[in-house]
Chains A and B, each alone.
Chain A
Amino acid sequence: MISNVARLLASILLLVTTSTHGSDAILVQSTTSTANSGLYDFLLPVFRQHSGITVNVVAVGTGQAIRNARNCDADVLLVHAKEAEEQFVSDGYGVHRHDLMYNDFVIVGPSDDPGAIKGLSTSVAAFTAIASTRSLFASRGDNSGTHKKELSLWQNASIDAAADSGKWYRETGSGMGATMNTAVGMGAYTLTDRATWISFKNRQNHAVLFEGDSDLFNQYGVILVNQEKCPAVKSAQGQKFIDWLISSDGQQLIASYQVNGQQLFYPNAR
Protein backbone atom coordinates (compact mmCIF):
# COMPACT_ATOMS: atom_id res chain seq x y z
CA MET A 1 0.00 0.00 0.00
CA ILE A 2 2.67 2.48 1.07
CA SER A 3 4.96 1.55 -1.81
CA ASN A 4 2.07 1.90 -4.21
CA VAL A 5 1.42 5.39 -2.96
CA ALA A 6 5.12 6.20 -3.22
CA ARG A 7 5.23 4.91 -6.78
CA LEU A 8 2.15 6.96 -7.65
CA LEU A 9 3.66 10.12 -6.18
CA ALA A 10 6.96 9.49 -7.98
CA SER A 11 5.26 9.11 -11.33
CA ILE A 12 3.17 12.23 -10.74
CA LEU A 13 6.31 14.16 -9.88
CA LEU A 14 7.89 12.90 -13.09
CA LEU A 15 4.89 14.01 -15.16
CA VAL A 16 4.94 17.46 -13.62
CA THR A 17 8.65 18.12 -13.75
CA THR A 18 9.58 16.77 -17.19
CA SER A 19 8.06 19.96 -18.39
CA THR A 20 10.44 22.79 -17.60
CA HIS A 21 12.00 24.96 -20.29
CA GLY A 22 15.01 23.68 -22.12
CA SER A 23 18.13 25.45 -20.90
CA ASP A 24 18.84 27.01 -24.27
CA ALA A 25 15.28 28.21 -24.85
CA ILE A 26 14.37 31.87 -24.59
CA LEU A 27 10.98 33.39 -23.99
CA VAL A 28 9.64 36.22 -26.12
CA GLN A 29 6.67 38.30 -25.01
CA SER A 30 5.13 39.41 -28.26
CA THR A 31 2.30 41.28 -29.87
CA THR A 32 -0.26 39.01 -31.55
CA SER A 33 0.07 40.18 -35.16
CA THR A 34 3.53 38.68 -35.63
CA ALA A 35 2.32 35.34 -34.26
CA ASN A 36 -1.14 35.17 -35.86
CA SER A 37 0.25 36.06 -39.29
CA GLY A 38 2.60 33.08 -39.14
CA LEU A 39 5.81 35.16 -39.14
CA TYR A 40 7.32 33.28 -36.20
CA ASP A 41 6.51 29.89 -37.70
CA PHE A 42 8.49 31.10 -40.70
CA LEU A 43 11.46 32.68 -38.89
CA LEU A 44 12.05 30.62 -35.78
CA PRO A 45 12.95 27.26 -37.34
CA VAL A 46 15.61 29.06 -39.41
CA PHE A 47 17.01 30.77 -36.33
CA ARG A 48 17.00 27.53 -34.43
CA GLN A 49 18.98 25.82 -37.14
CA HIS A 50 21.40 28.73 -37.23
CA SER A 51 21.93 29.02 -33.46
CA GLY A 52 20.56 25.95 -31.71
CA ILE A 53 18.36 28.24 -29.61
CA THR A 54 14.67 27.50 -29.23
CA VAL A 55 12.46 30.57 -29.09
CA ASN A 56 9.20 30.25 -27.17
CA VAL A 57 6.64 32.91 -27.96
CA VAL A 58 3.83 34.13 -25.73
CA ALA A 59 1.57 36.20 -27.99
CA VAL A 60 -0.60 38.69 -26.14
CA GLY A 61 -1.50 42.35 -26.68
CA THR A 62 1.39 44.80 -26.55
CA GLY A 63 0.17 46.25 -23.24
CA GLN A 64 0.09 42.85 -21.58
CA ALA A 65 3.38 41.81 -23.19
CA ILE A 66 5.10 44.83 -21.68
CA ARG A 67 3.50 44.20 -18.30
CA ASN A 68 4.63 40.57 -18.35
CA ALA A 69 8.16 41.64 -19.30
CA ARG A 70 8.13 44.14 -16.43
CA ASN A 71 7.43 41.14 -14.18
CA CYS A 72 10.62 39.62 -15.62
CA ASP A 73 8.64 36.89 -17.37
CA ALA A 74 10.50 37.34 -20.65
CA ASP A 75 13.96 37.45 -22.17
CA VAL A 76 12.97 39.48 -25.21
CA LEU A 77 10.09 41.87 -25.89
CA LEU A 78 8.77 42.30 -29.45
CA VAL A 79 5.88 44.77 -29.69
CA HIS A 80 4.61 47.82 -31.56
CA ALA A 81 4.10 50.85 -29.34
CA LYS A 82 7.22 52.99 -29.62
CA GLU A 83 6.47 55.36 -26.76
CA ALA A 84 5.68 52.56 -24.32
CA GLU A 85 8.77 50.69 -25.48
CA GLU A 86 11.00 53.68 -24.86
CA GLN A 87 9.41 54.07 -21.45
CA PHE A 88 10.19 50.40 -20.79
CA VAL A 89 13.86 51.00 -21.63
CA SER A 90 14.18 54.27 -19.73
CA ASP A 91 12.64 52.63 -16.66
CA GLY A 92 15.56 50.24 -16.76
CA TYR A 93 13.64 47.10 -17.79
CA GLY A 94 15.04 47.04 -21.31
CA VAL A 95 18.66 47.20 -22.44
CA HIS A 96 18.15 48.90 -25.79
CA ARG A 97 15.31 49.31 -28.26
CA HIS A 98 15.91 48.38 -31.89
CA ASP A 99 13.62 49.26 -34.77
CA LEU A 100 12.85 45.93 -36.41
CA MET A 101 10.29 46.31 -39.17
CA TYR A 102 7.11 48.15 -40.07
CA ASN A 103 3.86 47.87 -41.91
CA ASP A 104 0.73 49.97 -41.62
CA PHE A 105 -2.65 50.10 -39.99
CA VAL A 106 -5.82 49.99 -42.07
CA ILE A 107 -9.45 50.69 -41.28
CA VAL A 108 -11.62 47.75 -42.27
CA GLY A 109 -15.38 47.81 -42.34
CA PRO A 110 -18.51 46.51 -44.07
CA SER A 111 -18.29 46.81 -47.86
CA ASP A 112 -21.34 49.09 -48.05
CA ASP A 113 -19.29 51.64 -46.07
CA PRO A 114 -22.03 53.32 -44.01
CA GLY A 115 -19.68 56.13 -42.91
CA ALA A 116 -18.51 56.71 -46.49
CA ILE A 117 -14.83 56.73 -45.54
CA LYS A 118 -13.58 55.17 -48.75
CA GLY A 119 -11.62 57.68 -50.81
CA LEU A 120 -11.13 60.15 -47.97
CA SER A 121 -7.61 61.51 -47.85
CA THR A 122 -6.70 61.58 -44.15
CA SER A 123 -7.30 59.39 -41.14
CA VAL A 124 -8.72 62.45 -39.37
CA ALA A 125 -11.36 62.74 -42.09
CA ALA A 126 -12.11 59.00 -41.92
CA PHE A 127 -12.51 58.95 -38.13
CA THR A 128 -14.60 62.14 -38.25
CA ALA A 129 -16.89 60.56 -40.86
CA ILE A 130 -17.36 57.42 -38.74
CA ALA A 131 -18.15 59.47 -35.63
CA SER A 132 -20.47 61.95 -37.31
CA THR A 133 -22.52 59.20 -38.98
CA ARG A 134 -22.44 57.27 -35.68
CA SER A 135 -21.40 54.17 -37.58
CA LEU A 136 -20.49 51.20 -35.44
CA PHE A 137 -16.81 51.04 -34.54
CA ALA A 138 -15.24 48.11 -32.69
CA SER A 139 -12.32 49.18 -30.52
CA ARG A 140 -9.82 46.79 -28.96
CA GLY A 141 -10.16 48.58 -25.64
CA ASP A 142 -7.32 46.47 -24.21
CA ASN A 143 -4.36 48.85 -24.03
CA SER A 144 -2.66 47.00 -26.90
CA GLY A 145 -0.42 48.69 -29.47
CA THR A 146 -3.30 48.88 -31.94
CA HIS A 147 -5.60 50.28 -29.27
CA LYS A 148 -3.05 52.95 -28.36
CA LYS A 149 -2.75 53.89 -32.02
CA GLU A 150 -6.52 54.06 -32.36
CA LEU A 151 -6.82 56.34 -29.32
CA SER A 152 -4.20 58.68 -30.75
CA LEU A 153 -6.11 58.81 -34.05
CA TRP A 154 -9.36 59.78 -32.28
CA GLN A 155 -7.39 62.40 -30.43
CA ASN A 156 -5.96 63.78 -33.68
CA ALA A 157 -9.53 64.09 -34.94
CA SER A 158 -10.59 65.78 -31.66
CA ILE A 159 -13.28 63.19 -31.06
CA ASP A 160 -14.13 61.82 -27.63
CA ALA A 161 -15.21 58.38 -28.82
CA ALA A 162 -15.14 56.90 -25.32
CA ALA A 163 -18.04 59.21 -24.40
CA ASP A 164 -20.21 57.12 -26.74
CA SER A 165 -18.90 53.79 -25.46
CA GLY A 166 -21.66 51.20 -25.62
CA LYS A 167 -23.50 53.19 -28.29
CA TRP A 168 -21.79 53.33 -31.69
CA TYR A 169 -18.34 52.96 -30.11
CA ARG A 170 -17.95 49.37 -28.91
CA GLU A 171 -14.97 48.41 -26.78
CA THR A 172 -14.46 44.66 -27.00
CA GLY A 173 -11.59 44.45 -24.52
CA SER A 174 -10.23 41.57 -26.58
CA GLY A 175 -7.41 40.64 -28.92
CA MET A 176 -7.23 41.71 -32.56
CA GLY A 177 -8.73 38.50 -33.91
CA ALA A 178 -11.62 38.45 -31.45
CA THR A 179 -12.29 42.12 -32.16
CA MET A 180 -12.35 41.50 -35.91
CA ASN A 181 -14.73 38.57 -35.44
CA THR A 182 -16.92 40.96 -33.46
CA ALA A 183 -16.64 43.73 -36.05
CA VAL A 184 -17.55 41.31 -38.83
CA GLY A 185 -20.44 39.99 -36.75
CA MET A 186 -22.00 43.37 -36.09
CA GLY A 187 -21.00 45.21 -39.23
CA ALA A 188 -18.61 47.59 -37.50
CA TYR A 189 -15.48 49.39 -38.59
CA THR A 190 -12.26 48.55 -36.80
CA LEU A 191 -8.59 49.47 -36.92
CA THR A 192 -6.14 46.64 -37.53
CA ASP A 193 -2.57 46.16 -38.66
CA ARG A 194 -2.31 44.98 -42.24
CA ALA A 195 -0.51 41.73 -41.41
CA THR A 196 -3.33 40.50 -39.21
CA TRP A 197 -5.92 41.56 -41.79
CA ILE A 198 -4.21 39.78 -44.69
CA SER A 199 -3.91 36.54 -42.75
CA PHE A 200 -7.40 36.81 -41.22
CA LYS A 201 -9.84 34.28 -42.66
CA ASN A 202 -13.30 35.27 -41.37
CA ARG A 203 -13.68 38.44 -43.45
CA GLN A 204 -17.14 37.79 -44.88
CA ASN A 205 -18.26 41.17 -46.32
CA HIS A 206 -15.53 43.22 -44.68
CA ALA A 207 -12.84 44.97 -46.68
CA VAL A 208 -10.09 47.55 -46.27
CA LEU A 209 -11.85 50.90 -46.63
CA PHE A 210 -9.16 53.33 -45.61
CA GLU A 211 -5.38 53.07 -45.92
CA GLY A 212 -2.25 54.91 -46.89
CA ASP A 213 -2.16 57.92 -44.55
CA SER A 214 1.29 58.44 -43.02
CA ASP A 215 -0.49 58.57 -39.63
CA LEU A 216 -1.12 54.86 -39.98
CA PHE A 217 2.54 53.87 -39.90
CA ASN A 218 3.11 50.84 -37.66
CA GLN A 219 6.61 50.35 -36.31
CA TYR A 220 7.69 47.15 -34.54
CA GLY A 221 10.53 47.21 -32.05
CA VAL A 222 12.56 44.55 -30.27
CA ILE A 223 14.14 44.88 -26.85
CA LEU A 224 16.35 42.67 -24.68
CA VAL A 225 15.10 42.56 -21.11
CA ASN A 226 17.66 43.98 -18.70
CA GLN A 227 19.50 41.48 -16.55
CA GLU A 228 20.12 44.14 -13.92
CA LYS A 229 16.37 44.32 -13.23
CA CYS A 230 15.68 40.68 -14.00
CA PRO A 231 18.55 38.37 -13.02
CA ALA A 232 16.94 35.31 -14.62
CA VAL A 233 17.12 36.80 -18.12
CA LYS A 234 19.16 34.77 -20.63
CA SER A 235 21.02 37.78 -21.99
CA ALA A 236 23.47 35.98 -24.27
CA GLN A 237 20.81 33.93 -26.07
CA GLY A 238 18.36 36.83 -26.17
CA GLN A 239 20.97 39.16 -27.64
CA LYS A 240 21.86 36.51 -30.21
CA PHE A 241 18.24 36.38 -31.31
CA ILE A 242 17.99 40.16 -31.61
CA ASP A 243 21.31 40.39 -33.45
CA TRP A 244 20.06 37.81 -35.89
CA LEU A 245 16.72 39.57 -36.42
CA ILE A 246 18.41 42.86 -37.26
CA SER A 247 21.21 41.26 -39.30
CA SER A 248 20.92 41.34 -43.07
CA ASP A 249 20.00 37.63 -43.03
CA GLY A 250 17.14 38.16 -40.59
CA GLN A 251 15.95 41.30 -42.32
CA GLN A 252 15.92 39.65 -45.74
CA LEU A 253 13.99 36.73 -44.33
CA ILE A 254 11.39 39.08 -42.82
CA ALA A 255 11.04 40.85 -46.17
CA SER A 256 10.55 37.55 -47.97
CA TYR A 257 7.63 36.43 -45.81
CA GLN A 258 4.37 36.51 -47.73
CA VAL A 259 0.77 35.50 -47.17
CA ASN A 260 -1.50 35.21 -50.19
CA GLY A 261 1.28 36.70 -52.30
CA GLN A 262 1.49 39.84 -50.17
CA GLN A 263 4.43 41.02 -48.12
CA LEU A 264 3.37 41.57 -44.49
CA PHE A 265 6.37 43.22 -42.84
CA TYR A 266 8.99 45.64 -44.16
CA PRO A 267 12.36 45.39 -42.37
CA ASN A 268 13.92 48.68 -41.28
CA ALA A 269 16.51 47.90 -38.62
CA ARG A 270 19.56 50.12 -38.68
Chain B
Amino acid sequence: MTDFSQAFGVAFQLLIRGDDALYEIIFLSLRVSLTATLIACVIGLPLGAALATLSFRGKWLLTVVTNTLMGMPPVVLGLILYMALSNAGPFGWLQLLYTPGAMILAQTLLIIPIVTALTRQIIDDNWLDYREQLHSLCVPRFAAIQTLLWDTRASLLTVAMAGFARAISEVGAVIVVGGNINHLTRVMTTAIALETSKGELALALALGMVLLLISLMINASVLSAKGHTSR
Protein backbone atom coordinates (compact mmCIF):
# COMPACT_ATOMS: atom_id res chain seq x y z
CA MET B 1 0.00 0.00 0.00
CA THR B 2 2.06 2.94 -1.25
CA ASP B 3 -0.78 5.34 -0.44
CA PHE B 4 -0.27 4.75 3.25
CA SER B 5 3.40 5.68 3.42
CA GLN B 6 2.80 8.45 0.90
CA ALA B 7 0.12 9.93 3.15
CA PHE B 8 2.60 10.69 5.92
CA GLY B 9 4.74 12.62 3.49
CA VAL B 10 1.77 14.52 2.11
CA ALA B 11 0.47 15.37 5.60
CA PHE B 12 3.88 16.67 6.59
CA GLN B 13 4.16 18.73 3.40
CA LEU B 14 0.68 20.19 3.85
CA LEU B 15 1.52 21.44 7.32
CA ILE B 16 4.99 22.71 6.48
CA ARG B 17 3.98 24.43 3.27
CA GLY B 18 1.25 26.29 5.16
CA ASP B 19 -1.32 25.74 2.44
CA ASP B 20 -3.91 28.57 2.62
CA ALA B 21 -6.77 26.37 1.49
CA LEU B 22 -5.92 23.85 4.19
CA TYR B 23 -5.81 26.48 6.93
CA GLU B 24 -9.14 27.84 5.77
CA ILE B 25 -10.67 24.36 6.06
CA ILE B 26 -9.07 23.70 9.45
CA PHE B 27 -10.25 27.05 10.76
CA LEU B 28 -13.82 26.45 9.64
CA SER B 29 -13.81 22.93 11.14
CA LEU B 30 -12.71 24.34 14.48
CA ARG B 31 -15.11 27.27 14.34
CA VAL B 32 -18.08 25.05 13.55
CA SER B 33 -17.32 22.25 15.98
CA LEU B 34 -16.14 24.41 18.88
CA THR B 35 -19.20 26.66 18.57
CA ALA B 36 -21.45 23.62 18.42
CA THR B 37 -19.75 22.18 21.50
CA LEU B 38 -20.12 25.47 23.37
CA ILE B 39 -23.83 25.77 22.60
CA ALA B 40 -24.42 22.09 23.34
CA CYS B 41 -22.75 22.51 26.74
CA VAL B 42 -24.73 25.65 27.59
CA ILE B 43 -27.89 23.65 26.94
CA GLY B 44 -26.84 20.10 27.80
CA LEU B 45 -25.02 20.60 31.11
CA PRO B 46 -27.94 22.23 33.00
CA LEU B 47 -30.37 19.90 31.28
CA GLY B 48 -28.40 16.82 32.34
CA ALA B 49 -28.07 18.14 35.88
CA ALA B 50 -31.78 18.88 36.07
CA LEU B 51 -32.55 15.42 34.76
CA ALA B 52 -30.42 13.91 37.52
CA THR B 53 -31.60 16.00 40.45
CA LEU B 54 -35.23 16.84 39.81
CA SER B 55 -38.03 14.34 40.08
CA PHE B 56 -40.98 14.68 37.76
CA ARG B 57 -43.36 12.59 35.71
CA GLY B 58 -41.79 11.15 32.56
CA LYS B 59 -38.25 11.47 33.87
CA TRP B 60 -37.46 7.84 33.11
CA LEU B 61 -38.79 8.17 29.57
CA LEU B 62 -36.87 11.39 28.97
CA THR B 63 -33.67 9.70 30.14
CA VAL B 64 -34.21 6.77 27.80
CA VAL B 65 -34.95 9.11 24.89
CA THR B 66 -31.85 11.19 25.57
CA ASN B 67 -29.68 8.10 25.74
CA THR B 68 -31.21 6.81 22.51
CA LEU B 69 -30.58 10.09 20.68
CA MET B 70 -26.85 9.65 21.39
CA GLY B 71 -27.04 7.11 18.59
CA MET B 72 -28.68 9.48 16.09
CA PRO B 73 -27.13 8.76 12.68
CA PRO B 74 -25.62 12.09 11.51
CA VAL B 75 -26.92 11.58 7.97
CA VAL B 76 -30.49 11.23 9.27
CA LEU B 77 -30.15 14.41 11.30
CA GLY B 78 -28.68 16.10 8.22
CA LEU B 79 -31.64 14.98 6.15
CA ILE B 80 -34.17 16.22 8.70
CA LEU B 81 -32.41 19.58 8.90
CA TYR B 82 -32.17 19.78 5.11
CA MET B 83 -35.91 19.32 4.83
CA ALA B 84 -36.50 21.90 7.54
CA LEU B 85 -34.06 24.52 6.23
CA SER B 86 -34.73 24.05 2.52
CA ASN B 87 -36.50 26.91 0.76
CA ALA B 88 -39.34 24.43 0.35
CA GLY B 89 -39.31 23.69 4.09
CA PRO B 90 -40.80 25.48 7.09
CA PHE B 91 -37.55 27.27 8.04
CA GLY B 92 -36.39 28.25 4.57
CA TRP B 93 -36.86 31.92 5.43
CA LEU B 94 -33.88 31.70 7.77
CA GLN B 95 -31.66 31.29 4.66
CA LEU B 96 -29.42 29.04 6.72
CA LEU B 97 -29.03 26.09 4.35
CA TYR B 98 -25.53 25.74 2.85
CA THR B 99 -23.99 28.08 5.42
CA PRO B 100 -21.68 27.37 8.38
CA GLY B 101 -24.64 28.32 10.58
CA ALA B 102 -26.53 25.27 9.38
CA MET B 103 -23.50 23.10 10.11
CA ILE B 104 -23.23 24.51 13.63
CA LEU B 105 -26.91 23.82 14.15
CA ALA B 106 -26.55 20.25 12.90
CA GLN B 107 -23.58 19.44 15.11
CA THR B 108 -25.17 21.15 18.10
CA LEU B 109 -28.29 19.02 17.80
CA LEU B 110 -26.12 15.96 17.25
CA ILE B 111 -24.15 16.36 20.47
CA ILE B 112 -26.72 17.84 22.87
CA PRO B 113 -27.94 14.30 23.70
CA ILE B 114 -24.37 13.16 24.35
CA VAL B 115 -23.60 16.08 26.66
CA THR B 116 -26.97 15.76 28.41
CA ALA B 117 -26.86 12.00 28.92
CA LEU B 118 -23.27 11.90 30.17
CA THR B 119 -23.82 14.91 32.43
CA ARG B 120 -26.94 13.30 33.86
CA GLN B 121 -24.96 10.18 34.75
CA ILE B 122 -22.10 12.08 36.37
CA ILE B 123 -24.38 14.35 38.38
CA ASP B 124 -26.55 11.40 39.32
CA ASP B 125 -23.52 9.57 40.74
CA ASN B 126 -22.58 12.60 42.83
CA TRP B 127 -26.10 13.59 43.79
CA LEU B 128 -26.33 10.81 46.39
CA ASP B 129 -23.33 12.19 48.27
CA TYR B 130 -24.45 15.79 48.07
CA ARG B 131 -28.16 15.51 48.61
CA GLU B 132 -28.30 15.27 52.38
CA GLN B 133 -25.70 17.92 52.92
CA LEU B 134 -27.36 20.39 50.57
CA HIS B 135 -30.75 19.61 52.05
CA SER B 136 -29.57 20.21 55.60
CA LEU B 137 -28.09 23.56 54.54
CA CYS B 138 -31.42 24.44 52.89
CA VAL B 139 -29.68 25.18 49.59
CA PRO B 140 -32.27 25.91 46.89
CA ARG B 141 -32.40 23.44 44.00
CA PHE B 142 -31.01 25.88 41.42
CA ALA B 143 -27.99 26.67 43.58
CA ALA B 144 -27.53 22.96 44.29
CA ILE B 145 -27.31 22.23 40.56
CA GLN B 146 -24.76 25.02 40.19
CA THR B 147 -22.65 23.59 43.00
CA LEU B 148 -22.82 20.11 41.54
CA LEU B 149 -21.83 21.29 38.07
CA TRP B 150 -18.91 23.23 39.50
CA ASP B 151 -17.65 20.44 41.73
CA THR B 152 -17.74 17.87 38.93
CA ARG B 153 -16.20 20.20 36.37
CA ALA B 154 -13.22 17.95 35.73
CA SER B 155 -15.49 15.09 34.67
CA LEU B 156 -17.73 17.46 32.74
CA LEU B 157 -14.74 18.66 30.76
CA THR B 158 -14.39 15.11 29.49
CA VAL B 159 -18.06 15.22 28.58
CA ALA B 160 -17.47 18.36 26.54
CA MET B 161 -14.51 16.69 24.84
CA ALA B 162 -16.66 13.69 23.95
CA GLY B 163 -19.18 16.04 22.36
CA PHE B 164 -16.45 17.91 20.50
CA ALA B 165 -14.95 14.66 19.25
CA ARG B 166 -18.29 13.54 17.85
CA ALA B 167 -18.83 16.96 16.22
CA ILE B 168 -15.48 17.36 14.51
CA SER B 169 -15.40 13.79 13.24
CA GLU B 170 -18.86 13.52 11.70
CA VAL B 171 -19.39 14.00 7.98
CA GLY B 172 -22.94 12.79 7.32
CA ALA B 173 -24.78 15.84 8.66
CA VAL B 174 -22.49 18.68 7.54
CA ILE B 175 -22.16 17.41 3.98
CA VAL B 176 -25.94 17.46 3.56
CA VAL B 177 -26.71 20.82 5.19
CA GLY B 178 -23.40 22.49 4.32
CA GLY B 179 -23.04 21.21 0.79
CA ASN B 180 -19.22 21.01 0.95
CA ILE B 181 -18.94 24.35 -0.87
CA ASN B 182 -15.37 25.42 -1.54
CA HIS B 183 -14.31 28.46 0.55
CA LEU B 184 -17.70 28.53 2.32
CA THR B 185 -18.73 25.26 3.96
CA ARG B 186 -15.88 22.84 3.31
CA VAL B 187 -14.55 21.33 6.53
CA MET B 188 -11.96 18.63 7.21
CA THR B 189 -14.30 15.65 7.02
CA THR B 190 -16.11 16.77 3.86
CA ALA B 191 -12.76 17.55 2.24
CA ILE B 192 -11.63 14.02 3.09
CA ALA B 193 -14.79 12.59 1.52
CA LEU B 194 -14.22 14.73 -1.58
CA GLU B 195 -10.58 13.72 -2.02
CA THR B 196 -11.54 10.06 -1.56
CA SER B 197 -14.11 10.43 -4.34
CA LYS B 198 -11.43 11.94 -6.58
CA GLY B 199 -9.26 8.90 -5.94
CA GLU B 200 -6.69 11.07 -4.15
CA LEU B 201 -6.34 8.52 -1.39
CA ALA B 202 -2.99 9.70 -0.07
CA LEU B 203 -4.18 13.28 0.20
CA ALA B 204 -7.43 12.14 1.86
CA LEU B 205 -5.51 10.10 4.39
CA ALA B 206 -3.12 12.98 4.99
CA LEU B 207 -6.06 15.27 5.76
CA GLY B 208 -7.31 12.63 8.19
CA MET B 209 -3.96 12.67 9.96
CA VAL B 210 -4.02 16.45 10.18
CA LEU B 211 -7.52 16.29 11.68
CA LEU B 212 -6.40 13.80 14.31
CA LEU B 213 -3.36 15.92 15.05
CA ILE B 214 -5.56 18.96 15.69
CA SER B 215 -7.82 16.91 17.97
CA LEU B 216 -4.72 15.71 19.77
CA MET B 217 -3.50 19.26 20.38
CA ILE B 218 -6.89 20.36 21.68
CA ASN B 219 -7.19 17.35 23.95
CA ALA B 220 -3.67 17.85 25.25
CA SER B 221 -4.30 21.48 26.11
CA VAL B 222 -7.61 20.66 27.78
CA LEU B 223 -6.03 17.86 29.76
CA SER B 224 -3.21 20.07 31.01
CA ALA B 225 -5.71 22.80 31.92
CA LYS B 226 -7.68 20.15 33.79
CA GLY B 227 -4.55 19.16 35.67
CA HIS B 228 -4.34 22.72 36.98
CA THR B 229 -7.99 23.12 37.97
CA SER B 230 -8.25 19.84 39.85
CA ARG B 231 -5.09 20.72 41.80
Contacts and interface: CB of A to CB of B under 8 A. Distances in A.
Interface of A: 8-9, 12, 15-17, 19-21, 27, 32, 36, 40-41, 56-59, 68, 70-73, 175-178, 180-181, 199-203, 230, 232
Nearest to B202: A201
Given A8-B42, A71-B89, A201-B201, A181 B35 contact: no
A16 B101 contact: yes
B199 A181 contact: yes
Given A19-B99, A56-B98, 20 more contacts: A16-B105, A17-B101, A19-B100, A20-B96, A20-B99, A32-B197, A36-B197, A36-B198, A40-B182, A57-B182, A59-B180, A68-B86, A72-B88, A73-B87, A73-B98, A177-B199, A200-B198, A200-B199, A201-B201, A230-B87
B92 interface: yes
A56 B39 contact: no
Name which of A40, A57, A59, A202 has the most chain B CB atoms within 10 A of its CB. Answer: A202
Given A56-B181, A57-B181, A71-B88, A12 B95 contact: no
B86 A71 contact: yes
B145 to A, nearest CB: 14
B99 to A, nearest CB: 5
A115 to B, nearest CB: 23
Contacts of A16: 35, 101, 104-105
B104 A175 contact: no
B93 to A, nearest CB: 9
Contact of B98 (A12, A15, A21, A181): A21
Binding site of B, secondary structure by majority: helix, strand, loop or mixed?
loop
B125 interface: no
B167 to A, nearest CB: 14
Contacts of B105: 16
Contacts, number: 88
Interface residues of B, number: 31
Nearest to B97: A73
Contacts of B201: 201-202
Contact of B180 (A58, A68, A70, A177): A58
B35 A15 contact: yes
Name which of B39, B95, B97, B98 has the most chain A CB atoms within 10 A of its CB. Answer: B98
A135 B178 CA distance: 38
A112 B194 CA distance: 29
Contacts of A176: 197
Contact of A178 (B89, B97, B101, B196): B196
Nearest to B94: A20
A65 to B, nearest CB: 11
B1 to A, nearest CB: 11
A57 B185 CA distance: 10
Nearest to B199: A202
A21 B100 CA distance: 9
18 contacts: A12-B35, A15-B35, A15-B104, A16-B35, A19-B99, A20-B95, A20-B96, A21-B99, A32-B197, A36-B194, A40-B182, A70-B88, A72-B88, A175-B197, A176-B197, A181-B196, A201-B201, A202-B201
